[in-house]
Structures are given as C-alpha cells and as structure tokens.
Structure 1
Amino acid sequence: MAMETDRHYFIEGLFIIGFSFAAAFFFVWLQTSGHRDDVLYRIHFNESVSGLALGDPVKFHGVNVGTVKAMALDVDDPRKVQVDVSLRKEAPVKTDTKASLKLKGITGVVFIELNGGAPKAQTLAAVTPEGQIPEIASEKSSLTTTLDQLPRILEKFSAIEDQTKKVVTDVGEVTGKIKDNPLLRLGAPREKAAPAPAETTTPPQKEKASRSR
C-alpha cells in the first residue's frame, strides 16, 4: 500500500515537472518567434536610444503594434542607431509614416511611437523591393528637439536678465535724483510768485482842488 502511494506521488511529480518545462519552452518560443504574419521593419535613429531595450513596445498612435527585435550601430555611419522592429501585418505602415522615441512618464522607459500614414499614401512594404527590409523614416524626439533649442532659450533668458538689471539700475538712479532734489517729485507744489504792489494814483479832480487851495 505504501509503495503504491509513493509511486502515485512520483508520477504526479514527474507530470508537474514535465508540464513546467513545456510551459517554459512555449513561453520562450512565443517570445522569440512572435506572430508568423509579423513584418520586419528597420529604423535608423540620428540620436541616442538610451532607455530602449529588446522587447519594448512599438506603438502606432498609442496602440501596440509590435516590439523591438534588434539594435546596433549603423555600420556605415556610427552616429546612427539601427533598430529592427517586428510589426503586425495589419499595422498601417505607409510611405509617410514616421518613427520617433517617446518617454513613458518620468520612469526613463522609452518606446517607439509611429505616426502619420495618410489614406492615399502607399503601403511601405508594397513599394519596397523584394529581398529588402522596409525602412521607416525617423524624426527627432520632442526631448531631443527641446535639448537642441535649450542654448537659444538660455540666451533669451540671459538677455531678459540683462534688461531687467538695466531697468533696476535706471530706477535706482532716478530715485536717487528725486531724493536729492525734492522739486523733482511728482505732484510737488510749486511756489507761487508774490503779487506785484498796486500803484496808487490820485484822481485828476482831487489833484486840481488841492492845488487851488
């Protein structure tokens, strides 16, 4: 009886171990192979892709359409980063579609955002010669654009600061002059000129009468 119980537990243990291995293998296969209908696209970024990792999502107007498959420096131009992405076949990638790097919140996590794709534009995969990987054009991320404009913004702030200092200096000089000369104060009462003394004239008739006397 005890032997049968041990045998039963042994079989259950083997089943659990086998099932765990099978599940792990299926998970790895799913991550590496992906969908059979996925299409491989290539993107060249003219900026750092720091924060982007393999398996990170690729979104089209915020909707997940694929994942990052490979990253490497461009062989011909090491200033560029070559990123291969696997996108679902139904993803509307067209000749005017643009790719850019987006920052997710303040966590430092980066993902690829696709946008554009006019209704009349041609499908990118359809116009790409056979045997070549369709390449999605990239554009600078908003963060990189802001960093590029930062020197000009700081220069403008410096000019405003200089103007503010000049205004404060001018106000200080005017205040000092007013303090030294109270007559320069706005609304200060002006001294009234003293009235001229009235001339006394004797009427002609009275002057004649006085002479006759």
Structure 2
Amino acid sequence: METKTEGFKIRLGIFIIAGFALFLLAIFIIGKQKNLFNPVFKLSTKFQNVSGLQVGSPIRFSGINVGTVDNVEIINDSMVKVDLVIKKEVQKFLHTDTKAGIGSEGIIGDKLIVLSQGNPKSKLVKDGQNIASVEPIETDVIMRSLETTAGNAALATGEINEILVKINNGEGTLGRLIQDKSMANNLDKTLINLKNSSKGLDENMEAAKHNFLLKGYFNKKKRAEEKKKKAAEKAKQNK
C-alpha cells in the first residue's frame, strides 16, 4: 500500500513540475511577444481600414520585428486607431515623418505593421506620439485586377489563334497571298516591272538632259541650284 502511495506522489510531483515548466514557458513566450522583458515605448497611428490587422500582430522596421500591435480600436465609422508597442532601442531610428503601413506575410499571409525609416534630418519620435499612416491596398482588389488582366489576355490569345487559323486556311488577303502561289508570283512580277520601269525612267531623264531642246532648261535649273547653295554658304559665313 505504501508503495502505491509513493508511486502516486512521484507521478503527482512530475505532473506539477511539468505543469509549472509549461506555465513558465508560456509566460516567457507571451512576454517576449509583448516585449515585457525589454524597455519599450508606444506610438499610435490611424487607418481607415486595417485589413484584418489584430492585437499581437508584429511590427517590422527594415525587415526586423521590433514590436507588436498593442490595441486596435474603432474611433468612428471611418477611422480605426492602432496602438503600437516598440522596443526602446529602435526609437533612435524612427523620426517624426516615419509612416506606418499594413503589410502581410507573403501575398495572403497574416497582417503586420511596417514602419518606414523617415528623413534622418527630422526629429526623433517621442513616446506616445501619433504618426502618419499609409492606407493598405486590399488583396481582393489586386486579385480582381489580375483576373481582369488574365481574362483580357485569354481573349486576345483566342482572337490571334482565329486569325492564324484563317491565314493557314488561305482566308483573307494575307492568307491568299501566303497560300496561293500564283498570287505570290504575280506580286513578284509586279515588283520586277516596277523596278524596270524605275530604271527606264532614270534612263529617259538622263537622255533628256543631253537633248539640245531641253539642255537649256536643265542648265538653268542647275545654275539656280548652285546660286541657292552659294547664298546659303554666304549666309552661314556671315553668322
């Protein structure tokens, strides 16, 4: 009987010690999250929409967790006040023009507060000061925009595919030009004729320049061009 009692006492003692250890661990974790073991100071900011931000959400500065959200309070129908608890050692890096924005862990992760650095020439923030905020962009708005863009891209792709099918089937002018060899040959002949006609025109113009009946006209035109060129050079020299 005494053996059973001693065994029960041992198990009870182990249970009490384990429970007390878990209690201390919980206090340590909560205290670390709430910065109970570090000197802190408080700031506050206001948003029209906190986008799911909650008490206990982390606060980041330069990518480092520096505090937690202490309180989220609705002031009126268009304004929400957010109280921030930040490590005292960070205060020397935050200035009066520092702004608070709402970010997230990844695209759809938990919400958090992100503090900007501000102008180093500005004064440092004071304990209890209210800082400006930047309204967050709603994730659902971004998703709707992406859906619209994807829909437009799919529509454009479908229309391009239809055009390519018609071209491959020889429909339309471009399709007939690609598929119909005789039409392509006719186009090649037309281009060759245009080239020959241009060459013949150049030869006719050259012959006309040497014709005594038209030689005076071309000489007169040449002298006018030379006179115009000399006048332009003289005007350039006077400048």
CA displacement 1:112-169 (0-9 Å, x = unmatched)? 111122221101217xxxxxx311211133666x749949x86xx69x96xx88xx6x
Q: Distance in 1 between matches of 2:43 and 2:108?
A: 27
* Structure showing greater relative contact order (alpha-carbon pairs closer than 8 Å, 6 or more residues apart): 1
* Structure 1: unaligned runs, 5 residues or longer: 127-132, 193-213
Deviation at 1:22, TM superposition (A): 5.4
Q: Distance in 2 between matches of 1:183 and 1:11?
A: 100
Q: Counterpart of 2:187?
A: 187
Contact 2:100 2:134 in 1 (8 A): yes
DSSP-derived class of the 1:141 partner: coil
| Equivalent residue runs for 1:56-205 within 5 Å | 56-73=57-74, 75-76=75-76, 78-91=77-90, 92-125=93-126, 133-141=128-136, 147=142, 150=145, 174-175=173-174, 187-189=187-189
Q: Percent identity?
A: 25
Q: Report the TM-score, using the length of structure 1 for normalisation.
A: 0.58
Deviation at 1:87, TM superposition (A): 0.3
1:47 aligned to 46, 49, 55, which one?
A: 49
Contact 2:34 2:68 in 1 (8 A): no
Q: Distance in 2 between matches of 1:173 and 1:140?
A: 53
Q: Report the TM-score, using the length of structure 2 for normalisation.
A: 0.53
Deviation at 1:58, TM superposition (A): 0.4
Runs of 4+ residues deviating >6 angstroms: 176-180, 182-186
Contact 2:34 2:67 in 1 (8 A): no
When residues 185 and 66 of structure 1 are mapped into structure 2, their CA distance, relative to the original with a 3 A threshold, is farther
Q: Distance in 2 between matches of 1:29 and 1:58?
A: 15
Q: Distance in 2 between matches of 1:106 and 1:93?
A: 27
Deviation at 1:63, TM superposition (A): 1.1
AA in 2 matched with 1:90: E
DSSP-derived class of the 2:17 partner: helix
Question: Would you tell me which structure has more helix in proportion to its own residues?
Answer: 2
CA displacement 1:91-128 (0-9 Å, x = unmatched)? 122111111111212452221111122221101217xx
DSSP-derived class of the 1:90 partner: helix
RMSD of aligned alpha carbons: 4.7
